[in-house]
Structure 1
Amino acid sequence: MKKHIYLLLVLLIAGLQANAQGRMITGIITDAQSGNTLPGVSIMLKGTTSGTSTNKHGKYNISVPDEKSILIFRYIGYATKEVKVGNKQQLDVAMEVDNKTLDEVIVTGYGIRGLAGKVAGVRISGNSSQSFMAHEVQLAPPVHNTENYNYIKESTFQDAKKTPLSTFSIDVDNASYSNVRRFLNQGQKPPVDAVRIEEMINYFSYDYKQPTGDAPFSVTTELSDCPWNKDNQLLHIGLQGKNISTEKLPASNLVFLIDVSGSMSMTDKLPLVKAGFKLLVDQLRPQDKVAIVVYAGAAGLVLPSTSGEDKPTIMQAIENLQAGGSTAGGAGINLAYKVAQENFVKGGNNRVILASDGDFNVGVSSDSELQRIIEKKRESGVFLTVLGFGTGNLKDSRMEQLANKGNGNYAYVDNILEAKKVFVNEFGGTLFTIAKDVKLQLEFNPAKVKAYRLIGYENRALADEEFNDDKKDAGDMGAGHTVTALYEIVPVGAKSATTTGDVDPLKYQKSQLDPKANSTNEMLTLKLRYKEPDGNKSKLITTTATDNAVAVGKTSDDFRFSAAIAACGMLLRDSKYKGNATYPMVLELAQNARGNDEEGYRIEFINLVKSMSLLSDRR
């Protein structure tokens, strides 16, 4: 009898303990519009300090005491949500982006114009457009803005007889697209010089063939009619970097260089930096190591080089960061490179990752001085990744140049999904260089090409003689990266109205075509130079492209989608070369070229285009 009573007491106590401990709730958090999972979402049990966050797959689990418990879901850029758990064991939540609506706003210049009466506009829906009348808009007070962008002088058409060579450095940066997206999501038209068309195109990945043999990348070309000028043609060039599985990537020696000055205190700056770096830490392997350097009024080492196996220590060091003080960026850069060199991994990936709004104002702070520091430091074999954060004082021009000079890449992180793209989806491409100083030089055949224009890449143009100069710095390519370039071409004999301007005939020399130029179907010869990541002598790849054009409807999804991005960029810049481009045309091209869009980046662009039509007087 006593044994039975004892057993009942044990069961009763166990039941009371189980009830006190509550039950486990699991779930997946997604973006309500795209359905993409959201990593780093904060989940708190209301009225307590208990909480958790979603992992890189958007999954979470949390213990709750009873059915009356309420969970609070918070995420940067999304509306906070409170959900009562009830009797559910699985609680999935779709979060809504917290952005200003664009439907009743027309934007001109850099701000919003209130509509005193009713102003005609266009609403895009699917492939059709219909008129609508906009309502009155209350203007928000002007915000002091010190963002800085380099002036872009748009490239022009070149006469293929007089200027047969086109030479430029590749560009794997994609900061411009996410920055443009940020402006559009805020209901503003981006500054013209914030729109770098090549970076918008290269934000997206493309389905090019994988390289074969020893070459680190493949080259693909495609030719068709130009969508915005039917009398011209569009040449699509694609490079595909070799994919390398994470387990086969070399060991990493990383230094996080984090701006913790007062200007970084806003929620879209340091809190987002911390969330993004936590995603990166989650990807690290035992052979990888991380150090953390911070700078405000001065620079300091807050975490010595630590194995990727010790994630809790690294995570805690990131969590403890707080913003305050002025910005000694130069001192921070010097210390970060010093730490990277002290822990250098021969044959590995040695890299400083700078996260900042670029607002350096203490010590070395001029662009020229900072660039010279970076140029000198890159000789050590340490690469540089630059991540821009925040609004209102973003120094885009400075950060882009630092990345260019530091054998690295530049991305702008406007939300946690972008952090996931940079640190998780494109882990290899962001951090592991497979080729450096990559340059292209195209020689056009004047018997086939009357004139040509490279779309974008204005700040990547090289002198023709710099193609063979191995001392000339150029762009670097990461594992799995794609690079895309577009040329608008005026074929010989076309009834195109495109001109290159008049130049007086030469007095002392005459240029003559090689007779073979007329007998070949070659439109151009493409030459590409690159170096191994630790090499100093370049290697050469040569290929040709023919004048065999196909109808636009028979081109690849990649051709049409990149053309849509280019046309969109020209519309945002109000380019004199936009031809007959319109937002409905952009929308139709993009919608019919979505292709394999697992992460939803292309559908996001399509949805942006539907709003962009409200941001321009050109329909």
Structure 2
Amino acid sequence: MKKLLLFLLAAFPVLMACAQNKTEKTITGQVVSATDQLPVPGARVVFAGTRFTAVTDSAGSFSFKSKMDSVTIHVLFIGYMPLQQRVSMNASNIRMELRETQEALKDVVVAGYGKPKKDKTVSEKDFKFPPLANDAEVKMEEVVAAGVVSPPPGAVYCFVEAPNTNEFSSISENKFHTVQNEPLSTFSADVDRASYTIVRRALANGELPYAEAVRVEELINYFDYNYAPPQDQHPVAIHTDLAVCPWNKSHQLVRIGIQGKRIPTGNLPPSNLVFLLDVSGSMDEENKLPLVKQAFKLLVQQLRPQDRVSIVVYAGAAGTVLPSTPGNQKSRIIAALNKLEAGGSTAGGEGIQLAYRIARQHFISEGNNRVILATDGDFNVGISSDRELEKLVEKEKQHGVFLSVLGFGMGNYKDNHLETLADKGNGNYAYIDDYEEARRTFATEFGGTLFTIAKDVKLQVEFNPAQVKGYRLIGYENRMLNKEDFNDDKKDAGDMGSGHTVTALYEIVPAGAKMPEGGSVDPLKYQRNTPPPAPLAPNREVLTVKLRYKTPQGNKSMLLQQVLQPGAKDISACPADFRLAASVAQFGMLLRNSPHAGKSRYEDAIGLAVSAKGEDPEGYRAEYIQLLKKAKAISESVAKED
């Protein structure tokens, strides 16, 4: 007996090892209709006794991995009777036939909310199942409203997508102003381009984007423009030109271009970076956390030995998964990224506080100290109000730690949160919708994305009433400043990175032309209505552009100026970059159904874009032309439906 016991004790580890090393097997199957044997896409496949579920793809196929010997499979789909079948894990290419139900659709029960994932076995946590109530008598509208039901006898289960909870800040478009009453226009520079990729994603899905998601200046600034670099001690240079407005021939179009100095990567200051990564449950989708990992791996490949990286994650709580590590230890950094998994709620505020604390601990004087936040913007635990986050980010910015923000995914996307954080943190904001966009952000434009060459960049345009009767700034609605803010060095503004460009367009009404409706005011009652005094500057000047900026470590701004002379050309005779910017402006106004779109048409925007395509080494302009065509087709389809 003693020998038997010793034998069993000796064999126990071996038996346990065999059990633990049991080979994982894969079941593949297809769900079809018993009536016509055609595939049933979108059917929900539940594997009993596990936390896994799947949704059949367009071919009705599904797959499941497990170390079990057998499993019971439940298949549920609207219009068909539920199916249950026990199968062996040694089986393959299982064919499951659903029979149509005779129950009326009024008996359909919503069993869960979530978003199907194509061609992927998904976890039970991808679906939100409501608790069941005792009342079996429930109406369909009550099911949708409350999400809590008890299935009546013979009911058919239905899977529906979760409600869309994207959030964008509202935009009140800039109006025309008379030069006599408001000769100055002041705004903050903007190099963000998140709006373009959000628009691109919507159109790729066959949908028109939300009007609030269309920020025209970000569409324009998505593209690189070939302005001449600065030739003096300043890190930026101003360029101006003038054309006949393509969507209103009685008006003119002013282009203002700002070009940042391009600094070779080897000459850039060392970086102290903290990756702040959202790993909450809402990030568990292919275009969220997996894409985050891919994007940051691209960034890691650009790091130099003098650069350092820390990784902080947040879900139900925040924590450090990688202490500050030199940039030449790439395998260690990538290994930490590979281990990340999504799950839990979102303690965004707590994560930001920890990231800033680590950034301060490893602060590099005269270096690039930056937190890079990657999230879908769903901050719902901890510091959650916009104002609290703004105060935190503004405070840390004063200590020299900047914030860049990268948005991922859609459906529960909080664009308004992310844009605010980036604006207050002296950083840029981008939306990463695919691997190519990640490559552009972190590989192609590494220096411009991460290294600030000029901060608090503000522009003020003074119009000459002898040449200009009225004007309208196209876009930049959430970047407008008071005229007094231009000379106030305490007023925050935009930042520019190495090699970055900023482009702004003004639609102007020439002197003697009629102001558009809503662009004028009644004569004053209590003040003398006299013509404007003779200009102090020459009548031949259209406007003067003034620009203020600070060095990355500076607190006092420096001033640059540039004058624009008259001589508007037809847009077809203007440089290709100007034609492209004019095309994108029309694109944005059409998407927004702007009252200022004039005679804009997709055909005209496409024509300008085609003429401005040029060499296009990265293919961004060619892609834009295709987006224009998609938007035109979708708009026409929507118009027919209406």
2:565 aligned to which of 538, 546, 565: 546
Question: Given that residues 378 and 412 in structure 2 are in contact (C-alpha distance below 8 angstroms), is that contact kept between their aligned partners in structure 1?
Answer: yes
Deviations 1:176-202 (A, max 9, x none): 000100000011110000000000100
Name the counterpart of 2:633.
Answer: 614
Q: Does 1:602 align with 2:621?
A: yes
Q: Take 2:270 and 2:439, find their aligned partners in 1: how far apart are those partners?
A: 21
Question: Given that residues 445 and 517 in structure 1 are in contact (C-alpha distance below 8 angstroms), is that contact kept between their aligned partners in structure 2?
Answer: no
Name the counterpart of 1:486.
Answer: 505
2:328 aligned to which of 295, 298, 309: 309
Change (3 A) 1:451 1:496: closer
Q: Take 1:212 and 1:459, find their aligned partners in 2: how far apart are those partners?
A: 31
Q: Take 2:524 and 2:352, find their aligned partners in 1: how far apart are those partners?
A: 52
Deviations 1:194-252 (A, max 9, x none): 00000010011100001011111111111010011111000001000001111111111
Q: Does 1:385 align with 2:404?
A: yes
Question: Given that residues 230 and 261 in structure 2 are in contact (C-alpha distance below 8 angstroms), is that contact kept between their aligned partners in structure 1?
Answer: yes
Q: Counterpart of 2:631 in 1: which secondary structure? A: helix
Q: Does 1:178 align with 2:197?
A: yes
Pairwise mapping of residues 34-73 of structure 1 onto structure 2 (< 5 A)?
A: none
Deviations 1:149-184 (A, max 9, x none): 000000000001001000000111000000100000
Cα distance, 1:371 vs structure 2: 1.2
Cα distance, 1:516 vs structure 2: 4.0
Q: Does 1:258 align with 2:277?
A: yes
Cα distance, 1:586 vs structure 2: 0.5
Q: Take 1:548 and 1:210, find their aligned partners in 2: how far apart are those partners?
A: 24
Name the counterpart of 1:290.
Answer: 309
Name the counterpart of 1:364.
Answer: 383
Aligned partner letter, 1:327: T
Q: Counterpart of 1:569 in 2: which secondary structure? A: helix
Question: Given that residues 165 and 464 in structure 1 are in contact (C-alpha distance below 8 angstroms), is that contact kept between their aligned partners in structure 2?
Answer: yes
Q: Take 1:260 and 1:499, find their aligned partners in 2: how far apart are those partners?
A: 48
1:244 aligned to which of 258, 263, 278: 263
Q: Counterpart of 2:377 in 1: which secondary structure? A: coil
Q: Counterpart of 1:473 in 2: which secondary structure? A: coil
Q: Take 1:200 and 1:263, find their aligned partners in 2: how far apart are those partners?
A: 27
Q: Does 1:528 align with 2:525?
A: no
* Count of aligned pairs: 483
Cα distance, 1:502 vs structure 2: 2.7
Q: Does 1:197 align with 2:216?
A: yes
Provide TM-score, normalisation by structure 1. 0.76
Question: Given that residues 394 and 425 in structure 2 are in contact (C-alpha distance below 8 angstroms), is that contact kept between their aligned partners in structure 1?
Answer: yes
Q: Take 2:160 and 2:623, find their aligned partners in 1: how far apart are those partners?
A: 29
1:325 aligned to which of 344, 357, 362: 344
Q: Take 2:304 and 2:525, find their aligned partners in 1: how far apart are those partners?
A: 63
Aligned partner letter, 2:429: Y
Q: Does 1:447 align with 2:504?
A: no
Q: Counterpart of 1:616 in 2: which secondary structure? A: helix
Q: Which runs of 5+ in 1 are unaligned?
A: 1-78, 81-139
Provide TM-score, normalisation by structure 2. 0.73
Aligned partner letter, 1:284: L
Name the counterpart of 1:422.
Answer: 441
Cα distance, 1:515 vs structure 2: 2.6
Q: Take 2:316 and 2:528, find their aligned partners in 1: how far apart are those partners?
A: 62
Aligned partner letter, 1:591: V
Deviations 1:410-432 (A, max 9, x none): 00000000000100111111000
Change (3 A) 1:506 1:558: farther
Aligned partner letter, 2:450: L
Question: Given that residues 239 and 562 in structure 2 are in contact (C-alpha distance below 8 angstroms), is that contact kept between their aligned partners in structure 1?
Answer: no
Cα distance, 1:542 vs structure 2: 1.4
Q: Does 1:223 align with 2:223?
A: no
Name the counterpart of 2:578.
Answer: 559
2:251 aligned to which of 210, 232, 247: 232
Name the counterpart of 2:595.
Answer: 576
Q: Counterpart of 2:527 in 1: which secondary structure? A: coil
Question: Given that residues 455 and 552 in structure 2 are in contact (C-alpha distance below 8 angstroms), is that contact kept between their aligned partners in structure 1?
Answer: yes
1:476 aligned to which of 483, 495, 515: 495
Question: Given that residues 238 and 561 in structure 2 are in contact (C-alpha distance below 8 angstroms), is that contact kept between their aligned partners in structure 1?
Answer: no
Q: Counterpart of 2:310 in 1: which secondary structure? A: strand
Question: Given that residues 469 and 515 in structure 2 are in contact (C-alpha distance below 8 angstroms), is that contact kept between their aligned partners in structure 1?
Answer: no
Q: Take 2:192 and 2:453, find their aligned partners in 1: how far apart are those partners?
A: 15
Pairwise mapping of residues 91-110 of structure 1 onto structure 2 (< 5 A)?
A: none
Q: Counterpart of 1:230 in 2: which secondary structure? A: coil
Question: Given that residues 176 and 516 in structure 2 are in contact (C-alpha distance below 8 angstroms), is that contact kept between their aligned partners in structure 1?
Answer: no
Q: Counterpart of 2:249 in 1: which secondary structure? A: strand
Q: Counterpart of 2:302 in 1: which secondary structure? A: coil
Q: Take 2:324 and 2:537, find their aligned partners in 1: how far apart are those partners?
A: 62
Q: Does 1:373 align with 2:392?
A: yes
Cα distance, 1:522 vs structure 2: 0.4
Question: Given that residues 231 and 496 in structure 1 are in contact (C-alpha distance below 8 angstroms), is that contact kept between their aligned partners in structure 2?
Answer: no
Question: Given that residues 436 and 533 in structure 1 are in contact (C-alpha distance below 8 angstroms), is that contact kept between their aligned partners in structure 2?
Answer: yes
Q: Take 2:530 and 2:264, find their aligned partners in 1: how far apart are those partners?
A: 51
Deviations 1:489-514 (A, max 9, x none): 00012366565133332523556534
1:276 aligned to which of 284, 295, 300: 295
Q: Does 1:166 align with 2:185?
A: yes
Cα distance, 1:543 vs structure 2: 1.6
1:590 aligned to which of 585, 603, 609: 609
Q: Take 2:518 and 2:377, find their aligned partners in 1: how far apart are those partners?
A: 40
Q: Take 1:518 and 1:460, find their aligned partners in 2: how far apart are those partners?
A: 28
Aligned partner letter, 2:466: A
Question: Given that residues 405 and 428 in structure 2 are in contact (C-alpha distance below 8 angstroms), is that contact kept between their aligned partners in structure 1?
Answer: yes
Q: Counterpart of 1:161 in 2: which secondary structure? A: coil
Name the counterpart of 1:128.
Answer: none
Q: Take 1:397 and 1:518, find their aligned partners in 2: how far apart are those partners?
A: 42
Question: Given that residues 232 and 496 in structure 1 are in contact (C-alpha distance below 8 angstroms), is that contact kept between their aligned partners in structure 2?
Answer: no
Name the counterpart of 1:55.
Answer: none
Q: Take 1:511 and 1:326, find their aligned partners in 2: how far apart are those partners?
A: 63
Name the counterpart of 2:452.
Answer: 433
Question: Given that residues 170 and 476 in structure 1 are in contact (C-alpha distance below 8 angstroms), is that contact kept between their aligned partners in structure 2?
Answer: yes
Q: Counterpart of 1:352 in 2: which secondary structure? A: strand
Q: Does 1:394 align with 2:413?
A: yes
Q: Counterpart of 2:262 in 1: which secondary structure? A: coil
Q: Take 2:519 and 2:279, find their aligned partners in 1: how far apart are those partners?
A: 50
Question: Given that residues 372 and 404 in structure 2 are in contact (C-alpha distance below 8 angstroms), is that contact kept between their aligned partners in structure 1?
Answer: yes
2:479 aligned to which of 456, 460, 467: 460
Q: Take 1:580 and 1:304, find their aligned partners in 2: how far apart are those partners?
A: 57
Q: Which has the higher contact order (CA 8 A, sep 6+)?
A: 1
Q: Take 2:572 and 2:382, find their aligned partners in 1: how far apart are those partners?
A: 57
Question: Given that residues 192 and 573 in structure 1 are in contact (C-alpha distance below 8 angstroms), is that contact kept between their aligned partners in structure 2?
Answer: yes
Aligned partner letter, 2:239: T
Aligned partner letter, 2:608: L
Q: Take 2:514 and 2:479, find their aligned partners in 1: how far apart are those partners?
A: 31
